[in-house]
Structure 1
Amino acid sequence: MKGPQLDYPSLRKIEHLTQKLTGKIRVPIGVYTELKTNENGLVDLLSLDGYKKRNSDLESLMLKHQLINNQLEIQIQNLKSS
């Protein structure tokens, strides 16, 4: 009997399809899968440091967004009070 099917494809399958489709597609495969591939069609996995950097970048964007929202709320309150 076969084991339960996974809801996502294996890396080997993604690499195979990437190699097959690399010359035919115009949009990078990472747009659809969020995985990056090199010129040979092999999947480049992020290291732990890569994930940490990505998370820190996202955190800084979230903080900037919160700061901008707070500034806008203050401006709105100032406009209402004047």
Structure 2
Amino acid sequence: MYTYTRASFNATSGKQHPTYHSVGLMADYLLSKRTDIYVQGMYQHVGGDATGSVLDAAYVAGAAIVSSNRNQLLLRAGVRHFF
């Protein structure tokens, strides 16, 4: 999955347009008929104009906090069993 978002931020110094590039992947492997393992990854990069606001930091939904810079990477792995 890939998404591109272009934002518009109006300030006294003029218009800024930060851009957000997000890439996500997921893989699933069946261990048995009712059990599987999975891994997920999500990366976001904020490019474009700097706004001097929270819009400059990367944030992936589901992350505990906003990134302290313009990049954020989340990884998740799990085992799932159906009863």
Q: TM-score, normalised by structure 1?
A: 0.25
Q: Comparing both structures, which one devotes a greater share of its residues to strand?
A: 2
Greater helix fraction, Structure 1 or Structure 2: 1
Between the two structures, name the one with larger relative contact order (CA 8 Å, sep ≥ 6). 2
